[in-house]
Amino acid sequence: NSDEWYESIPEPIRPIKNQPFYHLFAENAESSYIAYVSQQNLLSDREQGPVSHPGIGAVFEGWDGNQYQLKRLMRQ
């Protein structure tokens, strides 16, 4: 994102700038959404199972019981 976006985050909660950021499929009890998250704010998925996000099928072929399998088109 832009420097303007970064500077708009209040300094006490502003993430460290030189770290990876990820777009991820997120969900809570009310909805599913795409989140943009700094590595320092990632949390482990304690359930460690498949999620029901509607975007999963666009990127992954399926769940093998342990992890999602990336579609061949996405691996290039």
pLDDT at 52: 85
Q: What is the pTM of this model?
A: 0.63
| CA 67 – CA 49 distance, rounded (Å) | 8
pLDDT at 66: 86
Long-range contacts of residues 59-65, Cβ cutoff 8 Å, at least 24 apart: none
pLDDT at 65: 87
Q: What residue ranges do the domains of the chain occupy?
A: 1-43, 49-76
pLDDT at 41: 87
Q: Give how far Cα 49 sits from Cα of 42, 46, 63, Å.
A: 17, 9, 9
Mean pLDDT by 10 residues, the chain (76 residues): 88 88 88 91 80 90 89 80
